[in-house]
Amino acid sequence: MSPLFKGFEQIEAARERLTGSSFLAGLYDGRPDFTLLLTSPQPPEEKAAGDAYCQQIEMFLRHNVDAEAIERQAKIPESVIQGLFKLGAFGMKIPKEYGGQGFSYTNYGRVLTLIASWSNILALTVAVPQSIGIAMPILLFGHEDQKRKYLPLVAREAISAFALTEPMTGSDAAHVRTEAVLDRTGSHFLVNGEKLWCTNGPIARYITLIARVPARRVSRDGRIEWVPVQEGQGADDRVHTAFILDMSAPGLLVRQRCQFEGCRGIENAHITLKQVQIPVENVIGEVGKGLKYALTILNVGRGVSIPAICLGMAKQAWQPTIDRANARITFQKPLAERQTQQIRLGDMAGHLFAMEALAMLVWRLADQHRHDIRIEAAVAKVFCSEHTIRFLRDAQILFGGVGYETAESKSQRGEPAFGIEQLVRDAEMYRIGEGATDILRPFVVREGLSAHLDRAKALYTGELSILDQSRQAIKLAGFYLPWYLRQWLKRPLPDSPEFGHPQVELVTQYVERMSRRLARDIFRAMVRFQASFQEEQRLQNRIESVGEDLLAMLATVLYAEEQTRFEGRTTVWELAESFCAGAKQRVTQRLAEFRHHGDYFTATTGTHALKGYYPSLSSGIVHRRLEDYRQRKQASDCVNRLH
């Protein structure tokens, strides 16, 4: 089994199955349950509360937040942070009984979208404590004393953060190295290690820390529990555990505030821990469940926070882009009258509507607490982050030369100081954060195809005898022959008013048909590649991409139907049809690529490049290896010390 999928196996083993079904898991199996996507609009009282709070936040942003200054100075003023604390913006997801707002995921997403439309840096700073800071793990897994002690603090006065990533692990959450060892008194854990890219780390009072604890496996009442062992003696394993870490603890050092291409105002830390003491009462939940907790709370960031911030950024760019297209005259003709730009704007409009529809769908699914939405959350994150980057780059093209110029430079000569170039730079972070696209795509496939992969696992391990392999193959054939035949049979659509709408019905029929075709193609690919299917990331990327577009198509038409029915907005169908037309082209292309092998030759070229087969590609320049840049920095430091 590939190392990547082994990592996912460890991650999956750490997760407990949630109750309910996943739409995308059914779609990849050729049997999508469309009723899972039926969500009710916000209750009137909930929507009214969200509307009123959004008005407060908008007033605060307009009068107290200088987004351009945050970009110039790479710093959010303390007065802004304190003002948002007074408004309760850091406690939106915390229940009222613990001093928070008690908002739904939908209202939380709406507020983040609004903040991001003014300053995505500020939105990220507000989102991190509520998505992956100490509030969510304590709410979900902490005990009552922790809730009463810490939740009012992080709701009203204390910034919190999340420390999972390490220099050598990145997205490989299963292999963190930071260790927390129970001391000889049994009252504290001693933590040693380092954490990287800890957003809000330099300004946080508390951090959710994920570390490995040497522990012994014990059986109690028929279930396995992990008990930490003093000084690590006699441990069966080093198991992931979540802690509340006080940033004032001796031995903790913020070594660096990391700087990035964009997102200049975020506070992001490289942290080292040397014999840092954490009281045993600061363990969140159970010892050994830290990876499960970390991956569970990441769903909030993936499904709610990142899509909301991306949506706010894209919406921020929309009106200025329209204004530019209408006002800019080239060769005696407005840009708005040129077909190339009309096509570009139409594509942008359709995808902006689709991003909003998919984000809203996932927020509502999260509010229902009925289904396992880990796959949908990951897909929403990939879809919104990737299409936001494309959207903003298209906007930058429409702005032309001034789209490449900074807002501050434009303002000096009286031009509108809209920073599209900043948005383009900032957007790249949301593709990377909370699960990079290239990691989430195989994650989606592993989760979506888990039934198939688990069913065939025995054949892939190579541990069976020839006789047992034959028996297993016969057993699989008995299952998959009728399964495969069913993939040619059309399934009835749900009998509900939403799916009775003509445009919704057409798209649903298309998705149902493509789902069965995708399931057949996946099956043939698994038969062909067998164990090596787990290495076929080109196929995994295409499988995820098809599912992503099919889900977004359904979200878009259902959102359009809802807006038509409740608000009388009939023009939204133009947006839905524009997006669906482009999505169908991508689906057709991806499915056709299942049978092409052009990527094989490209991958071979890449493999040879890694082995140094093409030295001419580095000829004719001042040749330097990556390590040379480290040496240059060290040499520069020596020169500075001499002077």
Other Cβ atoms less than 10 A from the Cβ of 613: the count is 11
* Backbone dihedral angles phi then psi of residue 207, each to the nearest 5 degrees: -135, 140
Segment 276-325, tens digit of pLDDT: 999 999 999 999 999 889 888 888 778 999 999 999 999 999 999 999 99
b/e burial code for range 62-98 (CB count within 10 A of at least 16 → b): eeebebbbbbeebebeeebbebbbebbbbbbbbeeeb
Other Cβ atoms less than 10 A from the Cβ of 264: the count is 17
161 half-sphere exposure, CB direction, 13 A CA radius: 25
User: By three-state DSSP, how is residue 370 classified?
Assistant: coil
pLDDT of residue 636: 54
DSSP result, 183-218: -TTSSEEEEEEEEEEEETGGG-SEEEEEEEEEEEEE
pLDDT of residue 527: 85
User: By three-state DSSP, how is residue 386 classified?
Assistant: helix
Supply the residues annotated as catalytic: 434
430: exposed, middle or buried (Cβ count in 10 Å: 0-12, 13-18, 19+): buried
pLDDT of residue 643: 52
Query: Do residues 257 and 76 make contact, with C-beta atoms less than 8 angstroms apart?
Result: no
pLDDT of residue 639: 44
The whole model's pTM is what?
0.92
Q: Look up residue 266 and give its two tokens.
A: 């975020």
Q: Is the dihedral of CA 159, 163, 165, 171 positive or negative?
A: negative
pLDDT of residue 630: 84
Q: Cα angle at 436 between 608 and 579, to 5 degrees?
A: 105
**pLDDT, mean over the chain:** 90
Segment 590-609, tens digit of pLDDT: 999 887 766 777 888 988 99
Query: Do residues 355 and 551 make contact, with C-beta atoms less than 8 angstroms apart?
Result: no
DSSP result, 122-165: HHHHHHHHHHTSSHHHHHHH--HHHHHHHHHHHHHT--EEEE--
Q: Is the dihedral of CA 433, 435, 441, 442 positive or negative?
A: positive
Q: Which CB contacts under 8 angstroms, 24+ apart, belong to 526-533? A: 526/452, 526/456, 530/456, 530/459, 530/460, 531/1, 531/459, 531/460, 531/462
Q: Look up residue 200 and give its two tokens.
A: 């809000």
In sequence order, the β-bridge partners of residue 269 are 198, 257
Query: Do residues 111 and 53 make contact, with C-beta atoms less than 8 angstroms apart?
Result: yes
Nearest to 359 by CA among 593, 112, 599: 112
Q: Which residues contact 356 (CB under 8 A, 6 or more apart)?
A: 311, 559
Output DSSP code: residue 255: E
DSSP result, 74-141: T---HHHHHHHHHTTGGGTTS-GGGTS----HHHHHHHHHHHHHH-HHHHHHHHHHHHTSSHHHHHHH
User: By three-state DSSP, how is residue 594 classified?
Assistant: coil
User: By three-state DSSP, how is residue 42 classified?
Assistant: coil
Other Cβ atoms less than 10 A from the Cβ of 565: the count is 13
pLDDT of residue 641: 54
Which amino acid type is present at position 363?
Answer: W
Q: Look up residue 114 and give its two tokens.
A: 């609004």
Q: Look up residue 8 and give its two tokens.
A: 């996912």
Task: Please list the ranges in the chain whose pLDDT falls under 50.
Answer: 1-19, 638-639, 642
Q: Which residues contact 145 (CB under 8 A, 6 or more apart)?
A: 281
Please give the Cα distance from 564 to 559 (Å, whole number). Answer: 9
Say which residue the tokens 């065939």 belong to. Answer: 456
Alpha helix (H) residue ranges in 487-501 = 497-500
| Number of residues in the chain | 643
Nearest to 31 by CA among 484, 370, 556, 534: 484
Please give the Cα distance from 324 to 336 (Å, whole number). Answer: 9
User: To the nearest 10°, the Cα dihedral for 592, 536, 513, 364?
Assistant: -130
Strand 179-182 relative to strand 188-199, pairing: antiparallel
Please give the Cα distance from 321 to 314 (Å, whole number). Answer: 10
